[in-house]
């Protein structure tokens, strides 16, 4: 056996072993990366699910708030309408009372006005 051939063979074996170690190390790193990737995927799935749930809760809460505000608005409209209705009724009553008062005062004054007009017409100064 040639000593250099043996050395070359050993060197080839050492190189092959180093390459194998390098390949195994890369494979382990890839496996770790894949496991980390799977963990990240699971976390993202949970986050996505939680975001969907939060969106549904927010939409439900917004609908409840919208309904509550609509009820308050309708109540305020009915109160305002009721108040304006009573204001209209009160104003109509006041107007009727003033009209009656004016009719009475004109009937009292109209006879006096007729007398004054007759005096002016019948008393002609020549």
Q: Give the pair of three-digit tokens for residue 126.
A: 């020549």
- CA 18 to CA 16: how far, in whole Å? 5
pLDDT band, very low/low/confident/very high, at 31 (cuts 50, 70, 90): confident
Per-residue model confidence as pLDDT tens digits over 47-100:
999 999 999 999 999 999 999 999 999 988 887 766 666 777 888 999 999 999
Q: How far apart, in whole angstroms, are the C-alpha atoms of residue 36 and residue 30?
A: 10
pTM for the model stands at: 0.43
Q: How many Å separate Cα 42 from the centre of its chain?
A: 33
Per residue in 86-120, pLDDT (tens digit) is 777 888 999 999 999 998 888 878 888 888 888 88
């Amino acid at each position: 056996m040639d000593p250099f051939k043996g050395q070359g063979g050993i060197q080839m074996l050492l190189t092959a072993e180093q390459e194998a170690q390098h390949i195994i190390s890369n494979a382990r790193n890839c496996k770790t990366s894949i496991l980390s990737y799977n963990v990240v995927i699971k976390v993202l799935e949970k986050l996505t699910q939680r975001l969907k749930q939060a969106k549904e809760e927010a939409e439900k809460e917004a609908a409840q708030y919208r309904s509550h505000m609509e009820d308050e608005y309708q109540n305020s409209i009915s109160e305002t309408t009721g108040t304006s209705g009573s204001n209209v009724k009160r104003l109509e009553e006041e107007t009727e009372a003033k009209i009656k008062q004016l009719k009475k005062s004109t009937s009292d004054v109209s006879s006096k006005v007729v007398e004054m007009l007759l005096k002016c017409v019948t008393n002609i100064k020549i």
